[in-house]
Amino acid sequence: MGKGVRLCITGSEVMNGFVLDKNTQFFASELYALGYELKESRVIHDDREQILRTWKEYRETGDIIVNSGGLGPTTDDLTVDLLCEWLGDTPVYEKHAEKRTRYFFERRARDQTRAISIETALRQARIPSRAQPIRNTVGLAPGIFIPEIPFIALPGFPDEIKSMWAETLGLIEAQGVERAATQIIPIWGVGESQLFSHLPEAPDITYGVHALPWGCRLFLRTAPGNGARLAELTAVIQAKFPGQSVADPLKEIVAHLKAEKLSLAVAESCTGGLAAKQITDLPGVSAVFKGGVVTYANEAKEALVGVDPEILRRHGAVSRECAAAMAEGAARALAADIAISFTGIAGPDGGSEAKPVGTVFIGMHDARSGITRVGKFLFPFGRERFRNASVACAFLAAWQYLQGDIPTVWPLSHYEAVSKKLT
């Protein structure tokens, strides 16, 4: 086996369950996508002996060591001191970090605590004297690179790690680690069994799979230099699922709306605001997103998006007719070009033989043409997965619709145009 990467996540708060370990997931996914092999990852307490023992074991392997955590200002932040102990080095202030730290605390700390705050805070501006700093543009503590091991130390905060990741990858790449040819293919709306029944036999390719909120993410890996074979296989797989292989349908929707100067709105019942939350998670979306309404009760559907009470009386809240009225009402109330609606039964109660738990009607109204389409789907996965699947399905169908040239692909093909005479 060639050289790889070994992770050490330090922090008693992580080991004790107070803080979720998101860093291993970030490192592992990023390294995999680039073809690097993550050999091992450990989460350990802020314990001197345990940390040093792990580092020494890792060094014996010859792999690159990436340590996350322990670069803060408190006495349980041990990384710099332990590195100096291990290497027979002394800590020094990194000039840029020291300047930023002093500025921050001299300007913003309270006068009566300033001296103590600065003295304590400057601990995070230290690096071993023969280390190379890694610039931290989000936090105060610099990262550390020890070329002779090689060893990389990063903070524990995910946002800080992400801001330092490009430079960190450059350091890893400079170590000359051989990388596998890797391809990641998202395929929405397809279960694992269905997906694997369509995969070509390929002894030289390693397949792996991970569930999307509604679908699968397929991982393909092969030997370095076999990229052409991987590209060929990727094209074959994507051709089997037209209109369903896209990295992020929502990002594509927003990009299309921005380019065409169109706007979007949502009306939600069973999804409880999840669609609006995911939309507003994207930076810059205010250019296209008018807003959303959570119309959980029938009274809210009537008052906020103008659903006719007669529709609710005759067809019920969970119906094709109600979904259409909600989408049209959201477009009208928020002056949006495109509106999406959700009404369904998340469970565990409330289902019937005609409308079992997991039933959802998803509406889509285009104010430009005046046409409303509604799809009926069944996601009997439990409340959380039901909501995630419903939102993912809606975004995929909306992306397909906005492409304009793939109207027959699933799930968009499952949508039917609804008459304006809804009552």
For the record, the structure tokens of 19 come out as 């803080």
pLDDT of residue 320: 97
Q: Say if residue 67 is in the same domain as residue 100.
A: yes
pLDDT of residue 404: 87
Q: How many CA atoms within 13 Å lie on the side-chain side of 124?
A: 26
Q: Among candidates 61, 66, 60, 3, which has minimal Cα distance to 37?
A: 3
Q: pLDDT by residue (tens digit) across 254-278?
A: 999 999 999 999 999 999 999 999 9
Q: How confident is the model at residue 104 (pLDDT cuts 50, 70, 90)?
A: confident
pLDDT of residue 420: 56
Q: Which of 191-200, 202-211, 393-402 has maximum average pLDDT?
A: 393-402
Tell me what the mean pLDDT of segment 21-30 comes to: 95
Cα 127 to Cα 147: distance, rounded to the nearest angstrom: 14
Q: Among candidates 72, 13, 9, 2, which has minimal Cα distance to 37?
A: 2
**Structure pTM?**
0.86
pLDDT of residue 423: 39
Tell me what the mean pLDDT of segment 319-342 comes to: 98
Cα 310 to Cα 296: distance, rounded to the nearest angstrom: 17
Residue ending a domain, among 223, 240, 257, is 240
276 within domain boundaries: yes
Q: pLDDT by residue (tens digit) across 173-185?
A: 999 999 999 999 9
Q: Among candidates 175, 176, 421, 194, which has minimal Cα distance to 310?
A: 421
Round the average pLDDT of the chain to a whole number and report it: 94
Q: Among candidates 44, 54, 52, which has minimal Cα distance to 23?
A: 44
Cα 323 to Cα 418: distance, rounded to the nearest angstrom: 10
Q: Say if residue 221 is in the same domain as residue 140.
A: no
Which structural domain, as residue segments, surrounds residue 259?
Answer: 249-417
Residue ending a domain, among 152, 173, 194, is 173
269 within domain boundaries: yes
For the record, the structure tokens of 150 come out as 């090689």
Residue ending a domain, among 219, 240, 261, is 240
Cα 226 to Cα 222: distance, rounded to the nearest angstrom: 6
Q: Say if residue 19 is in the same domain as residue 155.
A: yes
113 within domain boundaries: yes
pLDDT of residue 406: 56
pLDDT of residue 311: 98
Q: pLDDT by residue (tens digit) across 41-68?
A: 999 999 999 999 999 999 999 999 999 9
Q: Locate all alpha helices (DSSP H) within 122-261, ordered by sequence.
A: 158-173, 192-197, 227-240, 249-260
Cα 357 to Cα 314: distance, rounded to the nearest angstrom: 20
Q: Say if residue 123 is in the same domain as residue 83.
A: yes
Q: Say if residue 412 is in the same domain as residue 301.
A: yes
Which percentage of the chain shows pLDDT scores above 70? 96
38-44: strand order across its sheet: 38-44, 5-10, 64-68, 151-154, 143-146, 132-134
Q: Which residues pair with 219 in a beta bridge?
A: 184, 208
Q: Check pLDDT > 70 for residue 102.
A: yes
For the record, the structure tokens of 379 come out as 């996601």
> Among 104-113, 117-126, 379-388, which stretch is predicted with the lowest mean pLDDT?
104-113
pLDDT of residue 111: 52
Q: How confident is the model at residue 421 (pLDDT cuts 50, 70, 90)?
A: very low
pLDDT of residue 222: 94
CA distances from 249 to 219, 272, 329, 352 (A): 19, 20, 24, 32
pLDDT of residue 106: 77
Q: Say if residue 158 is in the same domain as residue 85.
A: yes
Q: Say if residue 259 is in the same domain as residue 162.
A: no
Q: Check pLDDT > 80 for residue 291.
A: yes
Cα 218 to Cα 199: distance, rounded to the nearest angstrom: 10
422 within domain boundaries: no
Q: pLDDT by residue (tens digit) across 117-154?
A: 788 889 999 999 999 999 999 999 999 999 999 999 99
Domain of 219, CATH number, reads: 3.30.70.2860
Which has the higher per-residue pLDDT, 115 or 144? 144
Q: Say if residue 95 is in the same domain as residue 162.
A: yes
124 within domain boundaries: yes
pLDDT of residue 419: 64
Q: pLDDT by residue (tens digit) across 156-171?
A: 999 999 999 999 999 9
pLDDT of residue 176: 92
Domain of 412, CATH number, reads: 3.90.950.20
Q: Check pLDDT > 60 for residue 109.
A: no
Q: Say if residue 300 is in the same domain as residue 371.
A: yes
Q: Say if residue 141 is in the same domain as residue 281.
A: no
Domain of 91, CATH number, reads: 3.40.980.10
pLDDT of residue 110: 54
Q: Say if residue 343 is in the same domain as residue 378.
A: yes
258 touches 288 (CB < 8 A): yes
43 within domain boundaries: yes
Number of compact structural domains in the chain: 3
Q: Say if residue 312 is in the same domain as residue 371.
A: yes
Tell me what the mean pLDDT of segment 79-107 comes to: 94
pLDDT of residue 408: 77
243: three-class secondary structure by DSSP: coil
285 within domain boundaries: yes
DSSP 192: H
423 within domain boundaries: no
Cα 387 to Cα 379: distance, rounded to the nearest angstrom: 9
